[in-house]
Amino acid sequence: MRRARMCSLDRADCTGDRLLALRHRAHAPPTLILPALGAGIVALVIANNVGNAAWASWINERPLLLVAVNSSNKYLIGTTPNTGLLEVLLVGTARLMAPDPLFYALGYLYRDRAVHWARRVFPTSGQLFDALESGEGSFRACWTCSCSSCPTTPSR
């Protein structure tokens, strides 16, 4: 029986896909995490669409439920006269922050896979991915670049 040649993380003969596969096996997230994160994101999108479909009757009858399923600015403003400001702020903030932990966990757990996939699919964008990973392409740098390209005085 022939054994496949394995490599360790510190060996020089491991490159590319073999090294990524070894790292993935060593730090693989549990199997059900990805479907659970996807289901949570899909559930929030469905709730958003339910709010869009039922807003006409819910804006007066169930304003906090409307804000809980869809906290778009138009619904936050529209439900404020029918509810207290504090309730709208609490429910709206909770709903607006609901997807954040899901997307953070998705990025934290599957970052290496996503970057590897993006490098394989978009091979000419390697410099962009290097800049984003090294911090040169951080949000602050992107914001500075975009602000410096905008005119400071409005055109008349």
Does residue 48 sit in the same domain as residue 85? yes
**What confidence score (pLDDT) does residue 41 get?**
94
Residue 156 pLDDT: 53
Same domain? For 93 and 37 the reply is yes
Q: Quick one: pLDDT at residue 139?
A: 62
Given a contact cutoff of 8 angstroms between Cβ atoms, the answer to whether 14 and 22 are in contact is yes
In single-letter form, the type of residue at position 6 comes to M
Which stretches of the chain drop beneath a pLDDT of 70? 1-27, 135-156
Residue 9 pLDDT? 47
Domain contains 45: yes
Domain extent, residue 81, equals 33-97
Q: Identify whether the C-beta of residue 53 lies closer than 8 Å to the C-beta of residue 59.
A: no
Pair 51, 82 in one domain: yes
Per-residue model confidence (pLDDT) at position 29: 76
pTM across the whole model: 0.63
Give the pLDDT of residue 22: 55
Residues 87 and 66 in one domain: yes
Asked if residues 79 and 59 have their Cβ atoms less than 8 Å apart, the reply is: yes
Tell how many helices (H) and how many strands (E) occur in the chain: 8, 0
pLDDT at 43: 96
